[in-house]
Amino acid sequence: MSEPVWRDGWFVVPSRVPYRDLDFFGHVNNATYFTYFEWARTLLWFELNGGSRPEDIGFIVAHAECDFKKQIAMESIEVLVRIGDMRTSSLDFLYEVRKGDGSLAATGKVTVVLFDWETGAKKPIEDELRRKARARFDASDARATAVL
């Protein structure tokens, strides 16, 4: 698969559904979408903050939701992710999962809380992260700045 790219205000992660993600009926199990979200979120976090190891993830998941639109089979997909609302210590990652033909298969939102692993406590979002997020999403889509 090709590398992630920025497109229309989204960080786009191309992927291919492996056989292991299919259920008895031959389509992707609903719980698997959250794994797709996780991988896209991780790659976006590394893109914005650097790092490549699990300990470089500076947040914990507080809430996750997914709306299913179409079934996905063993096919090419794209997982699109962007940052939505940023509050004092939490932010939303917004998602779209698109089939190879471009049709929308699912949407989602995951709220995370920035977390200091050493102190075991939440921490505020630093201005540098806000600046980086604003710069990346602003560059390709003015709608992204309305929620940052």
88-110 tens-digit pLDDT: 999 999 999 999 999 999 999 99
124 in Cβ contact with 59 (< 8 Å): no
59-72 tens-digit pLDDT: 999 999 999 999 99
What are the sequence ranges of the domains in the chain? 5-141
Q: How confident is the model at residue 79 (pLDDT cuts 50, 70, 90)?
A: very high
131 in Cβ contact with 139 (< 8 Å): no
Here the tokens at position 80 are 């699109």
36-54 tens-digit pLDDT: 999 999 999 999 998 888 8
Query: What's the average model confidence in pLDDT over 28-40?
Result: 97
Beta-bridge partners for 28: 22
pTM given for the model: 0.90
The architecture that CATH gives domain 5-141 is Roll (3.10)
